[in-house]
Amino acid sequence: MLTEQLLAPVPGGTGRYTRELLPAMAATTPPGWTLATVTATHRDLAPAVVVDVAGPRALPLPRRGLTALWEHGVHLWPGGDAVHAPTPLAPPAPRRGRCLVVTVHDTVPFTHPETLTRRGAAWHQAAIRRATARANAVVVPTVAVAEELQKHAPGPAPVAVVPHGVPDLFRRPMDPNEAALRTGRLRLPETYVLAVGTVEPRKGLDVLVRAMAKRQAPDLPLVVVGPRGWGGVDLVELAAEHGFPARRLHVLGRVDDENLSAVLRRAAVLAVPSRAEGFGLPVLEAMAVGTPIVHTDVPALVEVAGGTGLIVPRGDADTLAHALHEAVSQTVATAERVAQGRLRAAQFSWEHAASELWRLHVRFFDMANAR
């Protein structure tokens, strides 16, 4: 399995996916198979070390060189009989007897290229097209992405929908005192509106700040968890521009899972104002811990939430402000949605995702060796 994303400057959601999936794949390895990880050359491979998984082994090129090599079709195979690429960064089509499965998380490079750098959008478009044309199979997290992929990058590779999972940490109850202690150490208020995700244009955090500054919004602080990405989204400047008091804005940056679990549990509501998503892992984790959700009408978010959150149009700050207030103030209706969300979240597990991926690898490896 390629684990290059764990070493990216901003691992983002695909890094989280890789980190969660690896231990689950190690725990569900079929008889006769072994699992190991591979990266490009880096000075420090420690962020790509995963307990109970062999590796990482560094290929003899830095990331940029490896990417260029694979872009031009040079057959530097990472090793093993089968390779799983958890992002579109993947080797060329495998030679006889080998198998390649690639995860494509979203079609944002095609549907919303303006939310990426020009170079990033072009690279991802080409990489996704290579995957659908040459891989043994392509994995996507939602039916919505599968349908969009068929429109924008159709190819002969079979497409399998394998949803993400919920880490056990988010399923287990947490002592309220522990949650209060953790959020206290982070200097957070008693309760708040929460957003989780990389701070970049696609996440729609500019719309959320505008919404929170409106009179109809809940009178609560706004907490944002996630690393700073590209695009120059400055939440402090946006707050000043729209009249949202600086004292009510808390930008945490990246936090570990234990603290994220506590921050989610103490939130009055999770706001997901994204312009585009392929899955929306924070939505699922909020459902698991019992936090209400307000999300945009992005098809993948609608699919994952399954009617357990309030839905607002993308880019509509007024409707978002009203929905956040409704989620906080209408306690009976919100409690019903939260209960439904917990039940729905229980259907998603990383063990199931890993088992489905192993099934694909075994199937297509057997097919490649039966010819």
Beta strand pairing call for 293-296 and 310-312: parallel
Q: What is the pLDDT of residue 369?
A: 87
**pLDDT value for 325:** 97
**Is 262 found in the same domain as 184?**
yes
Q: In this predicted structure, what is the pLDDT of residue 1?
A: 96
Same domain assignment for residues 189 and 130 = no
The total of other beta-carbon atoms located within 10 Å of residue 360's CB is 21
Domain count for the chain: 2
Do residue 186 and residue 322 come from a single domain? yes
Q: 176 and 42 in one domain?
A: no
Give yes or no: residues 256 and 354 share one domain: no
Q: Domain residues for 196?
A: 168-345
Question: Where residue 227 sits, what CATH number does that domain have?
Answer: 3.40.50.2000
pLDDT given at position 230: 83
Between CA 276 and CA 179 the distance in angstroms is: 31
User: What is the reported pLDDT for 93?
Assistant: 87
Residue with tokens 């495998």: 94
CA separation for the pair 121, 127 (Å, rounded): 10
Point out which residues pair with 41 in neighbouring strands: none
Task: Give the pair of three-digit tokens for residue 169.
Answer: 């940490």
The amino acid at 329: S
**Same domain as 37, residue 109:** yes
Phi, psi of 153, rounded to the nearest 5 degrees = -145, 60
In this structure, are 33 and 158 located in the same domain? yes
Question: Residue 76 has what pLDDT?
Answer: 92
The pTM (predicted TM-score) of the whole model is 0.92
Sign (positive/negative) of CA torsion 113, 209, 239, 241? Answer: positive
The CA distance from 75 to 93, in Å, is: 8
List of the chain residues with pLDDT < 70: 371
- Beta-strand pair 159-161/293-296: unpaired
Q: Of 298, 300, 296, give the one whose Cα is nearest residue 310.
A: 296
Question: What is the model's pLDDT at position 7?
Answer: 94
pLDDT over 90, % of the chain = 86
- Whether 204 and 314 have beta carbons less than 8 Å apart is answered as yes
Query: Are residues 193 and 254 both part of a single domain?
Result: yes
Same domain assignment for residues 306 and 318: yes
Alpha helices in the chain (DSSP H): 12-27, 63-71, 108-111, 118-134, 143-152, 168-171, 176-185, 205-212, 235-242, 257-266, 281-289, 299-305, 317-329, 331-345, 350-368
Query: For position 62, what pLDDT does the model report?
Result: 95
**Regarding beta strands 249-253 and 222-225, do their DSSP bridges make them parallel or antiparallel, or are they unpaired?**
parallel
What is the reported pLDDT for 338?
A: 96
- Residue 12 pLDDT: 82
The answer to whether residues 204 and 86 belong to one domain is no
d(CA 252, CA 145): 30
In eight-state DSSP terms, residue 2 is B
- Give the pLDDT confidence score for residue 11 in this predicted structure: 83
Q: Do residues 263 and 147 share a domain?
A: no
Asked whether residue 317 falls in the same domain as residue 357, the answer is no
